Each structure stands twice: as structure tokens, then as C-alpha cells.
Amino acid sequence: MTEKRTIRKWFWVWDFEKEERWLNEMAQSGWVLIAVGWCRYTFEKCEPGEYIVRLEMRGGDDSYIEFMKETGAIYIGRMIQWLYFCKKAEDGAFDIFSDRESKISHLDRIGKMLEIIGAANLLIGIVNAWNGSFIGTVNLLLGTLLMYGLGRIHGKKEELERDRQLYE
């Protein structure tokens, strides 16, 4: 049986690039992701550098996963809205987004989610704090943190948008 190992690790949503980098470092060192869970990553032994791993946020859409499989990608699994794919490195470069506009709309999807959950927490937090409830403080802290994340996503987006004036 192939050797397996599970690692518990936490990444903030706005650090999704860092998460992807880590998963690829694991693949480089001979461990490819085969399953994802809540802060849980399961790996299987593979040849070092055999796979390239990619992740993205996208709503539940089975026809998309089918489409990815048609293009030779292997579907690893999902964690809520996040999809994880890999592809054999020998099949050539593997990316999910190849142009600026689709990278921007991906960031928009993440931003929207942070905005909704963040704003809801701030709102509930204010109401609860008004009523003197301790939970209100937790909501306010969480809401503030998510708004910070939203700022990080906006920063990434602005970097991409800067080129728009010059390039199609």
C-alpha cells in the first residue's frame, strides 16, 4: 500500500497563494495531496516533482469539474468553495487562470465572500455589543479580521489592474 500522511495546517483565505505554494513544495518533496478537510491535508507518496497542484475558489459546479478533467487535470477534492486539482508535471505547464481578467474575477469572488461574511459579523457585533453581550466582541474582532483580508485581496487586484491601461 502507498504510504500516506496527514498534516494539520491553517491558511487564511487571502493567503491562498501561500497555501498553493506549500502544496507544491510538498509535491516537490515527493508528497502529493490526495484529500482535503477542515485544516487537514492528506498526502500520498509520489515521485518528487511528479505533480503540479492548483487550487481556486468557485461555487459548486459539477460541469466545471468535468471540464477540468477533460483537459487532463485530476480532481483532488473540495473544501467548502475551494477546489483542489493536480496534473502530472510531464503533461506540461498547469495553471487554472491564464489571463489578467480571469485572475481578477477570481479575486472578486473571494472578495465578495469576505465582504458578506465580514459585514454580517460587524453588523451582528454592533447589535450584540449594544446589548452588552460578550459575543459581540468576538463578532467585531472576526469582522475586522475579514475586512483586513478583503483589503489584502483588493491589494492583489489593484496590482493586476495597473496594467489595464497599457495592455489589452
Partner 1 sequence: MDRDLALTESTYYILLSLYRPQHGYGIMQQTEALSGGRVRLAAGTLYGALNTMCEKGWIFQLPVESGSRKKEYQLTEKGLLVLKKEIERLRELVKNGDLIMGVENND
Least distance to partner 1, CB of residue 164, Å: 11
* Closest among 18, 34, 69, 27 to 48, alpha carbons compared: 27
Residue 149, number of CB atoms within 10 A of its CB: 21
Strand, helix or coil for residue 87: strand
Q: Whole-angstrom Cα distance, residue 47 to residue 28?
A: 8
| Closer Cβ to partner 1, 4 or 164, answer by number | 164
| Closer Cβ to partner 1, 6 or 105, answer by number | 105
What are the residues binding partner 1 (CB under 8 A)?
Answer: 56, 58, 64, 66-68, 70-73, 93, 95-99, 101-102, 105-106, 168
Q: DSSP assignment of 36-67, as one string?
A: EETTEEEEEE--TT-EEEEEEE--S-HHHHHH
Q: Whole-angstrom Cα distance, residue 164 to residue 79?
A: 33
| Closer Cβ to partner 1, 121 or 156, answer by number | 156
Least distance to partner 1, CB of residue 93, Å: 6
Least distance to partner 1, CB of residue 53, Å: 14
| Closer Cβ to partner 1, 19 or 146, answer by number | 19
Least distance to partner 1, CB of residue 95, Å: 4
| Closer Cβ to partner 1, 98 or 131, answer by number | 98
Strand, helix or coil for residue 8: strand
Least distance to partner 1, CB of residue 65, Å: 10
Q: Whole-angstrom Cα distance, residue 117 to residue 149?
A: 11
The backbone torsions φ and ψ at residue 45, rounded to the nearest 5 degrees and listed phi first, read: -65, 135
